[in-house]
A = this chain, B = another copy of it.
Amino acid sequence: MSGDEFLTNGWPSVTAERVIVRYHVRGDAASIEARALAIAVEQSVEMPLAAIDEPAVLSDIVGTVEAIEDLGGGMFSVRIGLALATIGDDPGQFLNMLFGNTSLHDDVILRDAEIPERFRLHGGGAPELRRRMGAPLRAFTGSALKPQGLAPERLADLAERFARGRLDFIKDDHGLADQAYSPFAVRVPRIAAAVARAARSTGHTTRYIPSLTGDLDQMREQATIARDQGLDCMMVAPMIAGFSSVRALTRAFPEVIFFAHPSMGGAARIAPELLIGRLFPALGCGAVIFPTYGGRFGYSPETCRELAANARPAMAVPAGGITLDRVSELLDFYGPDTMLLIGGSLLAARERITEAAAAFAGAVARHGVSDDGH
């Protein structure tokens, strides 16, 4: 911190505390220094430095180029220091300062960023999920309610069949919103009741995770409906809902563990290791859903490994085209603080969904016994 007050009017002084942000920039050695400085300026004062006459703005607010590394192949890693004072306490403003205008430049990927202490996930991650499930050190199972277009009764019936297979979690498909053919206020209580009924019959704790959508008011109403049903896990899509509103939600419902869905994550421009691995937990989400390697989305194993590691203590929830025969491989890879999410390949069992769910639950349970994971 600079400690120097430069304002004479009683506002808190700007300090020199900075967040280090890393970008991957396509360019050449001759121009990369100028390009790095241009990014530092764009993500801070966004104006010609020569026109700034306030010394403290030049020293404490303008972004600083901290390091440039040649990664080869025309790619450079650029580290820039952004003033924490410009971010304040709003995670939307954090995203704005990290990548707002620079997202419009197609030579730059936002690769990584320090997460200020004020945005760290406190509680509500994998350890708390494990405590609530009363589960020892094993991975969790999950599936999704699909397809869109089914009425509440049909979704509830499907959830009950999954739950009778002793899955740990059953979530809404992220496409289920508040559609006229399946309104949230009707769908969620019915599904919650169906899952509770199945759980009583199996003796296994199965949790239903409804998806919250709409503006902040609507998400709060939906979260209240869900909480009134005794649900303590819910899902949001931060890139659609908006970072600031998601954090308002996670703060308003501190007892709820929020699962972050990657919808609109646009992996090509913001590294998923950062967006899903670091930023979604920074909003208070205790579990992050992401497309695993080997599925239909094609993140690399290295990306998935770093993403999951970054997300801790949030629970890693690999998904996206996982098949039953990959349970063992994926748990070896991700370790036990993992919830495997299998949708389509369980649904493909059709009238044998309960048996397929039971096979999935059994495979994860057996893996937990024979191998404690990594």
Contacts and interface: CB of A to CB of B under 8 A. Distances in A.
Chain A interface size, as a band, is: 35 or more
A19 to B, nearest CB: 14
A123 B45 CA distance: 34
B11 A174 contact: no
Interface in A51-99: 51-54, 56-57, 60-62, 83, 85-86, 88, 90, 92-93, 95-97, 99
A230 interface: no
Contact of A147 (B46, B85, B105, B151): B46
Interface string A248-263: 1000000000000011
A100 B45 contact: no
Contacts of A105: 297-298
A214 B95 CA distance: 11
A181 B45 contact: no
B151 A9 contact: yes
B12 A262 contact: no
Contacts of A215: 92, 216, 242, 244-245, 247-248
B348 A85 contact: no
A325 interface: no
Given A7-B151, A85-B181, A263-B103, A347 B48 contact: yes
A308 interface: no
A83 to B, nearest CB: 7
B263 A344 contact: no
Instruction: Kindly report how many copies of this chain are found in the complex they form together.
Output: 2
B45 A146 contact: yes
Contacts of A241: 92, 242, 244-245
Given A103-B264, A347-B47, A88 B179 contact: yes
A97 B175 contact: yes
Given A7-B181, A12-B181, A244 B218 contact: yes
A350 interface: yes
A266 interface: yes
A291 interface: yes
A34 interface: no
Interface string A2-45: 00000101011110000000000000000000000010000011
A325 to B, nearest CB: 16
Nearest to A13: B181
A349 B48 CA distance: 11
Contacts of A11: 151-152, 180-183
B266 A88 contact: no
Nearest to A42: B296
A268 interface: yes
Contacts of A100: 174-175, 237, 240, 263-264
A150 interface: yes
B88 A177 contact: yes
Contacts of A47: 146-147, 173, 343-344, 347-348
Given A51-B348, A175-B97, A177-B93, A266 B269 contact: yes
8 contacts: A12-B180, A12-B181, A46-B175, A50-B348, A103-B266, A104-B266, A106-B267, A240-B243
Q: Which 4 A-B pairs have the closest CB atoms?
A: A242-B242, A45-B147, A61-B149, A100-B263
